[in-house]
Chains A and B, each alone.
Chain A
């Protein structure tokens, strides 16, 4: 007798495999895109030799990273040191489960999808701390200590702006939040809460450790910050995690503010994807244009500007809901 597999389980398994594939291919593509964009911003062609327009360059780099010897520094806490990159990468998969790419294209219909993502993205900072502490390197430690205060400072305004959207929609489920937004751009949440969108975007830059807020790995100050001591795939996983986090925060931004899969015509996952990639493009654009902020300026921006503004935004949304 063939045991019947429950449909829901089958769906999760298929989706998990698809997500693993998507995350890996996507990270490679994004690294290529970043290098290509950086090249064009800097008036040079970027990777060009391997494959058409250098498309296979990142594949080769990935293979090279896998072939590298994994070296742990002599004084390192080996368990923490190797746990960190895995911890950085693993939660990224789970975060994809509740994100609806299309009307029916999602891994699992969570009632509380927003909470799940916020909970798991917060785990990323734990990986940074472990990496910084386990490396037994002063530069890593400084990077980790920066990461902690940065994460604490930026989680607060991020949560408050998300709360604004949740209050307005009355749901923690991505599908219904998107469902309430219409097809046309003026029916999206971004038109109702432009301030909220702005704060969310700035905070997501800081959460992903992207420039100009890439202080935990500030290259010119801390050589490479928390991942100074990592080689091979240890570094590779951190690198993957960074790009995956970019996709997650952009997806969240799209779902909460930009109407998800809705578009003026032919609504579907392609609208979702194009919005996500547009946001990622803006992130990369900023990275290759702006200098890095200083640490105290970063914290000042959050505590003195973003949090009060986020509270004002929340108040404004509350009034809007009442009306």
Chain B
């Protein structure tokens, strides 16, 4: 195989400049709709996109390299910053990998704390995405309604994790803090309130004629394309594949709950939108069941003070709000990991964009980009 290593992506693909009928537009790194420092180079013929290439690397923070120079416990806070919107899933992927490698049994109550907090975090992530997506399409108001609900969930999680956004409350062998009655009552109230709110969201946005016109039959991702790029999460489920790590490779105690995997066969942006809204309902169902099944017990397993997993390697995957989050961990028997590889769903989902946006209008490309639900720090890790 031959690789062209001359210059960076831009100089190889876009430096020749536009042809007579096209122009090259630089969306980002500062653009209102990329939600972060994503840069997309777009070659346009009028308003139609001929080529769209994401340029990465503006937020590379070397999380993987940092993992190789920190002890196992020191690396936990990093995981909350990879994907700041669903931080607890990343927490879980990492501590889960270490626990798997060391063969640690997590106490049952700790598993419930993890499930409840992680699903709350998933709802928060989907709510923020919902608001931001409607804002991408020009509707300003919904994001503040979403923030109203998100704020309540944040207040709850603040109580048991100690932070509001970049959570790092999972520990190897358990969690940092137990749930108290105030938290559980709050969760029950939240679960009772959300269905009403979701009904309002449907009336306000989902059924809106203009909104439907902006989503339906826009950005269609056939199953083969989604598979080719390794898309997971709502992007894959929006194409009709019922793949969810919680169901496909059950981890923790997810086999105890009764929940469905929402899918849509339309494969368009609307499909992905509906999948995410349905997932909020499913997460609420999981939380309600978890609160009912709760039993007393310890929240931390007995683990050695210095974590030294045996020699070997392991892979642990969880379902994040954006798709499959995987941590590949290699240990050489010392107190720092030999290698950590993070599999982030946003990177795979973003790779779709180039093919998906080809030939669409600029406004549709923004709709597609929004429907992929990208978190930029996760792409660069």
Smallest CB gap from A290: residue in B: B210
Asked if A290 and B208 sit within 8 Å, CB to CB, the answer is: yes
Residues of A with Cβ closer than 8 Å to B? 38, 41-44, 138-139, 142, 211-212, 214, 218-221, 223, 287-297
Residues of A within 8 A of B208 (CB): 290-291
- With a 10 A CB-CB cut-off, give which of A41, A139, A292, A294 has the most chain B CB atoms: A294
The closest CB in chain B to the CB of A44 belongs to B144
Residues of chain B lying within 8 A (CB to CB) of residue A214: 138
Residues of A close to B23: CB separation below 8 A: 138
- Asked if B185 is at the interface (CB within 8 A of a chain A CB), the reply is no
A289 and B139 contact, CB distance less than 8 A: yes
**CB atoms of B148 and A295 under 8 A apart:** no
Most buried by B among A44, A139, A289: A289
Q: Are A291 and B139 in contact (CB under 8 A)?
A: yes
The residue from A218, A289, A293 contacting B213, defined by CB atoms under 8 A apart: A293
| Of the residues A43, A220, A292, contact of B32 by C-beta under 8 Å | A220
Q: B144 to A42, Cβ gap below 8 A?
A: yes
Which single member of A41, A44, A288, A292 contacts B137 (CB below 8 Å)? A292
Give the 9 A-B CB pairs with smallest separation, nearest first: A292-B138, A291-B139, A42-B144, A291-B137, A220-B33, A291-B138, A294-B363, A220-B136, A291-B211
Known contacts A43-B145, A291-B211, A294-B213, then 4 further A-B pairs from the complex at CB < 8 Å, ordered by chain A residue: A142-B47, A220-B135, A291-B137, A293-B214
Query: In the complex, how many residue pairs between chain A and chain B have their CB atoms under 8 Å apart?
Result: 76
Contacts of B33 in A (CB 8 A): 220-221
| Complex: A266 Cα to B364 Cα, angstroms | 52
B136, B138, B141: most-surrounded residue (chain A CB, <10 A) = B138
Q: Which residues of A contact B205 (CB under 8 A)?
A: 291
Contacts A221-B362, A221-B366, A295-B363 given; does A211 touch B47 at CB 8 Å: no
Query: Once the chains are docked, how many angstroms separate the CA of A242 from the CA of B34?
Result: 27
Question: Could you name 26 residue pairs across A and B whose Cβ atoms are closer than 8 Å?
Answer: A38-B141, A43-B144, A212-B210, A218-B138, A218-B363, A219-B138, A220-B33, A221-B366, A223-B32, A288-B141, A289-B139, A289-B204, A290-B208, A290-B210, A291-B134, A291-B208, A292-B138, A292-B214, A292-B363, A293-B210, A294-B213, A294-B214, A294-B361, A294-B363, A295-B47, A295-B361
- Which residues of B lie under 8 Å from residue A288 when comparing CB positions? 140-141
Provide the bound-state CA to CA distance between A65 and B209, in Å: 37
Q: Which residue of A lies closest to B46 (CB)?
A: A145
Instruction: Assess whether B31 is interfacial by the CB under 8 Å rule.
Output: yes
Residue pair A43, B148 in contact (C-beta under 8 Å): yes
Residues on A with C-beta less than 8 A from B25 are 138-139, 142
Contacts of B136 in A (CB 8 A): 220
Q: Are B363 and A221 in contact (CB under 8 A)?
A: yes
> In the assembled complex, which residues on chain A have CB atoms less than 8 Å from the CB atom of B47?
142, 295
Encode B2-30 as 1/0 by CB contact (under 8 A) with A: 00000000000000000000010100000
* B residues less than 8 Å from A293 (CB atoms): 210, 213-214
Q: With A and B bound together, what is the CA distance between A37 and B208 in angstroms?
A: 21
With contact pairs A142-B47, A214-B138 given, residues A291 and B214 touching in the complex (Cβ less than 8 Å): yes
CA distance A43 to B138 in the complex (A): 18
Q: Which residues of A contact B148 (CB under 8 A)?
A: 43
**Among the listed A41, A44, A220, which residue makes an inter-chain contact with B138, where contact means beta carbons less than 8 Å apart?**
A220
Could you tell me if B141 and A41 are in contact, using CB atoms closer than 8 angstroms?
yes
**Which residues of B sit under 8 angstroms from A142, Cβ to Cβ?**
25, 47, 362
Query: Which B residues from 116 to 173 make CB contacts under 8 A with A?
Result: 134-141, 144-145, 148
Q: How far is the CA of A261 from the CA of B54 in the complex (A)?
A: 57
